[in-house]
Structure 1
Amino acid sequence: MEEENVNTSQMLNTSRDVLYGQPEQSVTLDNVYQLMLGINERLTTIEKGMSQVNQMNRTLTNLVTKFTEINSKVAEAEGQIKNFKSRCDSNDGKMSQIKHDHTELNKEVKNLKKIQTDANNNLQGISDFMDDFKVNHENNVKDVKSAKSSISKVANDLADNTLELRNEIKAVVKNAKQENEILQSTVIDLQCRSMKNNLVFTGLTETEGENTEEVIRTFIQQFLHITHRIEFGNVHRFGYGAKPGRRGRPRPIVARFLYYKDLARSLSNTYRLKGKPFGVNQQFPEIIEQARKSLYPVMKQKRIEGHTVKLVRDILYVDGEMYNDQISDIEPTDSLASQMRTPDHHQNRKRRRRISSTPNPDS
């Protein structure tokens, strides 16, 4: 740079000499030409220098821009450093907590080691116990096998005895069942005999303080047209019905006739009650009544077909012969029959024919 300044100074001096001249020198065109060439070279050099200056300016501008970016990055880095420092401070607290937890963990590990030692001791005790248990188990297996053999022998003997006992029980139950059926038939027959002289009157209005015996006498005289005095053993109302003075079906009256001929005559005159709200029927045990109700439709159908039918207790006679197709599905409802019911009573639905004390109407 200093060399260029010296050359420029010399050129300026030379140009001044050419323009203003020197007293001791004469100016020629050659000198002017040389001067112009020198000026041209210097201008060319200056232009090159100016291009370098422009390049340097651009370089400086880029450097300023980069310095600005660096400053912003440095500021950002400083902020990150501050955040990192705050995190480090927070991590210091966490490290303290971790150290505390580590200390506690060491204590727990020591306790676990102690527990493991105790567990090992216990396992050794259990192992010894299992060895003893195995020996005892083998002895028990032998005892069980021996007991099983004895029990099997006893079971075989017991099975034989049970079979014999079962056969004996079946025979006893069968005999008891037969005796029970005979006893039940006998009891029902006795009930029928005790009710032989009883008639049940229905439809008679009940009044307060009535004399049921006089009510029946009046009814027999008025509706059955029997004028002579009939003697009764006992007359009373029974069952459920409308109370005196209220609407509804009145309670029936049962009357015990002292003489059977009076009962028979009363029954023979019941045809006079046709179309009237009264009824007169013989009294039977509940089981007989249920059986008779089941036979009423058959009896009605046989009459329509022109057969001669007669119902004696719970036995239906058609043309003088016992009706064999009757099957009673009615369960005994009286307490005595319920007590005498056998275990297979519900399976044997066909009721056995009882020995009747009433003679056959054809005999």
Structure 2
Amino acid sequence: MGKKGKKRKTDDISNQSLRSTQSENSSRGRSVSEQHAVSFMLNEANNILYRTPDERYCAENAGNAENAENIAYVSTPLIAGNACSTSSQFAEINQKLEFIMQKLQKLDVIEERMNRLDTRMDSLESRVVATEKINDEFEKSVKYVSGKCDEFQLKSNEITALSKTMEKQRKDITDLSDNIERQKAEMEKLNREMAQATEKKKELEESVLDLRCRSMKYNLVFTGVDGESREENTEGRIRDFIYYDLGIDSHMEFCNVHRFGRFVRGKCRPIVARFVYNQDRDAVLRNAYKLKGTQCGVHEQFPKEVEDKRRELYPIVKDLKRSGNTNVKLVRDKLYVNGRLYNPGTPSSGRGTAIDTQPVGSAAEPMTVR
């Protein structure tokens, strides 16, 4: 601690001592002159201890008049009055000064500690500033992280909603897949039933076709027979045709004889005759060759489906006969060559069971029963 600081502290202590001394003097009833004398002596002691010679000289020159007055004022009462009391006061003042010096030494220690404390406070302040800066950055980071957390929460909610939607769609797809599997099983069942129904339908159609063929077994179709009119006796006309054109002199029984097909003016519709006895029918077919070279013809009657297939096979029959195959038979809608079933381009095994009754004579097209 410097001299000026010690001087200030000494001045403060002197003032405090003066105040305490004044209070004590007032309590003891001391005079005002004694108080001024103590104050003057304290100031002088302070000047001697802590002021430089220049400062003491300036102070002495500046306050000579006042000091002279004080000394003159104080010395007279002191010398004249109460010398013993003054010496005791100086002793007390010396004790107080010693006490004050001890306190001043402690003040130096306190000042040093205060300086260290100031240094620490400066360091702490800088650390506080750095901490505040870090805290600001941390708050910004927290805000940024909070914003990202909000975005993440929003995305998480969207993902959750999307997951629920996908789960629902997955369930719908599963249900749809199950429905498809059930529909597929039902379709397979329906396909099997359809195949069975188709096979059964085919069998029924073949059965119906066979029944129709059997029902037409006793029928013969006569083409090119003229004389059609509204008053025509069709059965009589067929009897005359068999007798005069085929040369068969026998009485034949018929179930029904009539013309069929759409009427066209200037043309004769074919006649279908149903025989009672099969031998009469066969006799007519055996003599049908006699009609070769005429406009008339005789052939068996078949359903339209069979007639269409037979019409496709007629050119093949002619080609086979021209090539020298004499054992060619057309049974209903099937062609047999040398006892084998013939398919166009691919012969297959099989034996004929019926005699071909292809019409002989003119190449008249087969007709169907109306």
Bigger radius of gyration: 2
